[in-house]
């Protein structure tokens, strides 16, 4: 791979990063807070590619036709692998397969903020689970809640509403789970995204993977919803 080819690969990789950072594609890989860094990386790669191409063109004009450039190592073509992966492979967000093989990542919060307005109250999976498991439902004041996540079914058929939470990127994503009881649909499909309305119940179980707390939600109604643009729980570590 000569310098011109390297510049072309860097340019294409930078363009793909800019596209991912400017669209919801990036949210399959990193937290929304990291999108500016992704855009910056793409811009730096494009600037580097343009500078390399300009420099090589000037050097070619100065050196003349008799000078022969030494070939670059063939291993440089491996730069194409991340580019092809980003272009050809757009994996879905982590789902029930990963959730059931990882223990819940629920952690006790330092404090609980005020409940959002609304009836039912819109809560994230992490927010409801922490208020139910560690706050024993006191902060919910008996109000109905609405929670959105994807469905996971264990080997016994028990249903969980799950949202994957991440610190940085999809590689460190961990599930937070809510066990469901009450008025569930007769047919449950793993990985289906659901908007669940229900009430706090003091019932609590423990994750068989790491023995972490998994609170229950007593379901009163269920509505299927499309996969959100950001499939990971946005309240994690906030």
Q: Are 65 and 159 within one domain?
A: no
Residue 215 falls inside a structural domain? yes
Residues 6+ apart with CB under 8 A from 141: 115
Looking at residue 158, its pLDDT comes to: 92
Domains identified in the chain, total number = 2
Backbone angles phi, psi at 78, to 5 degrees: -65, -15
Confidence check: pLDDT of 90 > 70: no
- Of residues 80 and 50, the one with the higher pLDDT is 50
pLDDT reported for residue 238: 45
Out of 87-101, 149-163, 224-238, least confident range: 224-238
What's CA 206's distance to the chain center, in Å? 24
In this structure, are strands 193-206 and 145-153 parallel, antiparallel, or unpaired? antiparallel
Q: Using 50, 70 and 90 to split pLDDT, how confident is the model at 2? A: low
* Mean pLDDT, the chain, integer: 82
* Banded model confidence at residue 110, pLDDT cuts 50, 70, 90: confident
Whether residue 213 is found in the same domain as residue 197: yes
* Number of alpha carbons in the 13 Å side-chain half-sphere of residue 147: 35
Q: Are residues 198 and 110 part of one domain?
A: yes
Task: Tell me, yes or no, whether 162 and 214 share the same domain.
Answer: yes
Domain that holds residue 132: 96-224
Residue 27 pLDDT: 65
pLDDT at 94 over 80: no
pLDDT band at 234 (very low <50, low <70, confident <90, very high): low
């Amino acid at each position: 791979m000569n310098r011109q080819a390297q510049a072309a690969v860097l340019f294409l990789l930078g363009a793909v990063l800019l596209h991912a950072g400017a669209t919801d594609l990036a949210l399959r890989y990193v937290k929304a807070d990291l999108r500016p860094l992704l855009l910056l990386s793409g811009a730096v790669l494009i600037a580097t590619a343009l500078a390399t191409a300009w420099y090589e063109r000037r050097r070619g004009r100065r050196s003349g036709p008799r000078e022969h450039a030494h070939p670059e190592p063939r291993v440089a073509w491996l730069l194409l692998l991340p580019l092809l992966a980003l272009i050809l492979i757009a994996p879905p967000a982590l789902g029930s397969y990963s959730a059931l093989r990882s223990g819940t990542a629920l952690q006790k919060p330092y404090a609980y903020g005020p409940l959002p307005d609304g009836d039912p109250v819109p809560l994230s999976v992490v927010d409801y689970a922490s208020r139910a498991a560690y706050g024993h439902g006191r902060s919910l004041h008996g109000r109905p809640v609405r929670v959105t996540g994807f469905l996971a079914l264990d080997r016994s058929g028990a249903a969980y509403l799950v949202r994957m939470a991440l610190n940085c990127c999809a590689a460190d994503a961990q599930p937070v789970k809510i066990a469901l009881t009450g008025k569930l649909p007769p047919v449950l499909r793993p990985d289906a995204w659901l908007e669940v309305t229900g009430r706090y119940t003091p019932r609590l179980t423990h994750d068989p993977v790491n023995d972490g707390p998994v609170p229950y939600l007593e379901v009163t109604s269920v509505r299927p919803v499309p996969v959100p643009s950001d499939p990971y729980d946005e309240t994690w570590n906030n």
